[in-house]
Amino acid sequence: MSATPPLASRPPRSAARIFPALRLLAALASLPVVEAQPASSASSRGTASPLGSWIIAPTRVVWTSPAGASHAANLLGANPNQALLKNPRPPCVLAPAANGASGGAILLDFGKEISGYVELITTMTKEKDPPLVRIRFGESVAEAMAELGGEANAQNDHALRDQTVRLPWLGKLTVGPSGFRFVRIDNLDPKLPVSLAEVHAVLQLRDVPQVGSFRCDDERLNRIWQVGAYTVHLNMQDYLWDGVKRDRLVWIGDMHPEVATINAVFGFNDVVPRSLDLTREVTPATEWMNGISSYSMWWVLIHEQWWLHHGNRDYLAAQKTYLQALLKRLAALVGPDGRERINGTRFLDWPSSPNKEGVTAGLQALLVMTLESGARLLTELDDTSTAGLCTEAATRGRRVVPDVNGSKSGAALLALAGMRDAKQTAREVLQVGGPANISTFYGYYVLRALAQAGEVDTALDFISRYWGAMLDLGATTFWEDFDLAWTDNAARIDELVPPGKKDVHGGYGAYCYIGFRHSLCHGWASGPTAWLSETVLGVTPLEPGCKRVRIVPQLGRLTWAEGTYPTPRGPIKVRHERRADGTVHSEISAPAGIAVVRS
C-alpha cells in the first residue's frame, strides 16, 4: 500500500466537519485521501448529519489484461481530480477490443471497502467519439472479475455493480453508487482506445466524530473493534442500512447490534430515530416490521436501548400509541399455557433457520424480553394498564423454556432473558465446538451470554478466531455471514483466486446470499465492537440519558484495557489494569451529571 499523500493544497471548507471521518480512516489504515468534499444531506424528515465525500486514490494495480494497460501505475496516488489539457504524466491507455479480441482492462484496489462511486477522468485525444467501457465493482477481487449470474451469482441487486457506459472526451464520468473495494475497467470499444488520466473512488459516509474508543494489550482485538466501527459507519447513510452493496435497506431487527455499536462509538446520531420512525410509519401495528415477527420485537428493544442511552422523553412519548397497539398484540401471543403463538415469518438469523426447535426457543425468550421491556417503557409513559398486561403475559411466558436443540442463537437469548442458567448454557451449548455454528448477527448475543456466564475468555477467543478470521482473509469490513469451515484452503479476497484454492466469496453462502450476492459489509456483524466497550470496558447505562452508569470491567485474560464511551453529557474515560495480585485497578473520569456505580 502506498504512503498517504497530503490533502490537496486547497483547504477544505470545514475542517471541523471533515477531520473526524478522516481520523476514522487513518485509524483503520493509510488510505490515499486526495481531497475532502463535505456535502450535506437533508430530507423532508429534517436535517440529517451531513454526508461527507472523500476522494480516495487507488492503492495498487491488481491485474491487467493480456491486451494491456500501459502506464497503469500512473493511476496510483494523488491526482488533481480535474481533466487537464496537459497531464503531468502519461495516461493509462486501454487498447481497443479490435478483431473480436478482448480490449485492454485493468483491476484497481482502493485499499478499503468503500460506500460510494468511482470517477474516471479522460484526456484530450485525437478522436472525440466517446469510447464504450464496462465498469465492475467488487467487494472482493473475484467479484470484480465475475460475469453476471451463473453459479457464482454475481448480481446488480440494490446497486448496479456491473454496467456499460461511454466516457466523455476530456472530462469526468461518475459511476455508481455501490459498495466496493475493487473496480475493473474494460475497454469494449472496437476502434477507440481508452485514455485515463485518473481513476479514483468517492467515499460517502456521515461526517461524524468517533467519540468512543477501545484499546487493550491485544492488537487483534483492537483491530476488530475498529473494523466493526467502520462497518457500521459505512452503513450510516440516509438511513441505517444493512449493507452498502446489497441490502441497502432498513431492517429493524438487524439494527439492534448496529445501534449498540453506534451508542458505543458515535453516541447519538439521527440515523437511528429516522430509521426507527420510517419503519414504524410504513408498518401498521397489525403487521410485522419487514414482514418478520421478531423484527417488531426488536423495534421495542431498540427503543429501550436508545432511551437508556439518550433519555429523550419527548421522542419516547411519540412512540406511545404504536407501542401500546404493538405490545397488546404481542401479549396476546402468549398462550394460557405460557407458550408463544407467534404467527407469520419465524426468524432469528439465517444459520438457525433449519433448526425449528432452536428458533422456537429463541422466539419464546425474545417475546418475554420484549414484553418486559415494553412494560418498563409504558410505565415511564404512565400507561400502567398496558404495562401490567405485558408483565402478566411475560410472567406466563417465563414458565416455558423450550429445548434449544443445540442452537447457540436460541440458547443465548434464553440465557439473556434469565430463563436458562447462563453457566449451564455456556457449558452445554455455547462453548461446544468453539465459535462454530454462530453467525455474524447473533454472535453478538452469544458473546453477551458468555459474559453473563463469566466466560469472558471464551468470548474473547470467539472474537479473535471468528471475526479475526475474516481479517486474515483480507476483509476490511465484517460480512453478512461467515463460517470458519470456509477458511479451509481459501484464497484471500484481495487476490486473484490461485489454481487449487477456494473462492471464499463466490463459492459459499446460502439462503438469500449465495455466492457474490453475499454482502461483505453488513452492519449486523459489528457486535464485537459494542461488546468490547460494554463488557471489557464494562459500561452499562442504568438510568435514561446515562444519568447513572455502572462500570464493572471484565478483562478476562487481558492485562489492561482503556477507552471512552459516549454519553449525552460527554464521553466517559476509563482505564482498567490488572495488578500483580489479580485485582483490577480502574481510573474513571465521568462528565458532571453522571453518577458512576462500581458494582
Tens digit of each residue's pLDDT (9 = 90 or more) over 2-32: 333 322 222 232 333 334 555 555 545 445 4
Q: Tens of pLDDT along 54-77?
A: 999 999 999 999 988 999 999 998
Burial of 151: CB neighbours in 10 Å, binned 0-12, 13-18, 19+: exposed
What is the predicted pLDDT for the residue at 49?
72
Residue 37 has pLDDT above 90, yes or no: no
Find the angle CA(505)-CA(510)-CA(511) to the nearest 5 degrees: 135
Containing 443, the helix (H) or strand (E) segment is helix 443-452
Q: Tens of pLDDT along 338-374?
A: 999 999 999 999 999 999 999 999 999 999 999 999 9
What is the predicted pLDDT for the residue at 20?
52
Q: What are phi and psi of 179, to 5 degrees?
A: -110, 130
**250 near 279, Cβ under 8 Å?**
yes
What is the predicted pLDDT for the residue at 50?
83
What is the predicted pLDDT for the residue at 479?
98
How far is 67 from 13, CA to CA, in rounded Å? 43
Q: Tens of pLDDT along 411-441?
A: 999 999 999 999 999 999 999 999 999 999 9
How far is 95 from 79, CA to CA, in rounded Å? 23
Residue 549 has pLDDT above 70, yes or no: yes
CB-CB neighbours of 339 under 10 Å: 16
Containing 506, the helix (H) or strand (E) segment is none
How far is 316 from 369, CA to CA, in rounded Å? 18
Q: In this structure, is the dihedral angle defined by the CA atoms of residues 351, 354, 358 and 363, taken in order, positive or negative? A: positive
How far is 39 from 21, CA to CA, in rounded Å? 13
Task: Share the mean pLDDT of the chain.
Answer: 92
Q: In this structure, is the dihedral angle defined by the CA atoms of residues 503, 504, 506 and 509, taken in order, positive or negative? A: positive
In the chain, pLDDT over 90 holds for what percent of residues? 90
Containing 477, the helix (H) or strand (E) segment is none
The grid coordinates listed for 170 are 476530456
Amino acid at 251: W
**455 near 437, Cβ under 8 Å?**
no
Q: Which residues contact 142 (CB under 8 A, 6 or more apart)?
A: 152, 491, 493, 496, 497, 503, 505, 506, 516
How far is 306 from 319, CA to CA, in rounded Å? 12
What is the predicted pLDDT for the residue at 48?
57
Three-state secondary structure call for residue 118: strand
DSSP tag of 80: -
Burial of 590: CB neighbours in 10 Å, binned 0-12, 13-18, 19+: buried
Q: How far is CA 550 from CA 210, 257, 449, 546, 571, in A?
A: 22, 20, 18, 9, 14
Mean pLDDT of 81-92: 95
How far is 470 from 27, CA to CA, in rounded Å? 18
Containing 167, the helix (H) or strand (E) segment is none
Mean pLDDT of 254-281: 98
Residue 592 has pLDDT above 80, yes or no: yes
Query: Could you tell me how far CA 389 lies from the centroid of its own chain?
Result: 36
Containing 213, the helix (H) or strand (E) segment is strand 213-216
Three-state secondary structure call for residue 483: coil
Cell 400502567 belongs to 384
Amino acid at 380: E
Residue 404 has pLDDT above 90, yes or no: yes
**52 near 207, Cβ under 8 Å?**
yes
What is the predicted pLDDT for the residue at 21?
54
How far is 455 from 431, CA to CA, in rounded Å? 9
Q: How confident is the model at residue 442 (pLDDT cuts 50, 70, 90)?
A: very high
DSSP tag of 292: B
Rg (CA), the chain: 25
How far is 130 from 170, CA to CA, in rounded Å? 10
What is the predicted pLDDT for the residue at 240?
98
Mean pLDDT of 385-391: 98
Query: Could you tell me how far CA 234 lies from the centroid of its own chain?
Result: 7
How far is 254 from 45, CA to CA, in rounded Å? 22
Query: Could you tell me how far CA 506 lies from the centroid of its own chain?
Result: 20
How far is 59 from 129, CA to CA, in rounded Å? 30
What is the predicted pLDDT for the residue at 78?
86
Residue 536 has pLDDT above 80, yes or no: yes
How far is 232 from 240, CA to CA, in rounded Å? 8
CB-CB neighbours of 16 under 10 Å: 10
Closest CA to 260 of 542, 557, 25, 529: 529
- Global pTM value: 0.93
Burial of 489: CB neighbours in 10 Å, binned 0-12, 13-18, 19+: exposed
The grid coordinates listed for 528 are 464485537
Residues 213, 216, 219, 224: what is their CA dihedral angle, to the nearest 10 degrees?
-40
Strand extents, DSSP E, 401-468 = none
Mean pLDDT of 529-543: 98
Amino acid at 47: T
How far is 418 from 340, CA to CA, in rounded Å? 17
Containing 274, the helix (H) or strand (E) segment is helix 271-281
**213 near 563, Cβ under 8 Å?**
yes
The grid coordinates listed for 31 are 488510505
Q: How confident is the model at residue 471 (pLDDT cuts 50, 70, 90)?
A: very high
Q: Tens of pLDDT along 124-142?
A: 999 999 999 999 999 999 9
80-89, 139-148, 363-372, 391-400, range with the lowest pLDDT: 80-89
Closest CA to 263 of 232, 242, 299: 232
Residue 53 has pLDDT above 70, yes or no: yes
**Cis amide prior to 177 (ω within 30 degrees):** yes
How far is 449 from 53, CA to CA, in rounded Å? 39
Mean pLDDT of 509-521: 97
How far is 419 from 39, CA to CA, in rounded Å? 49
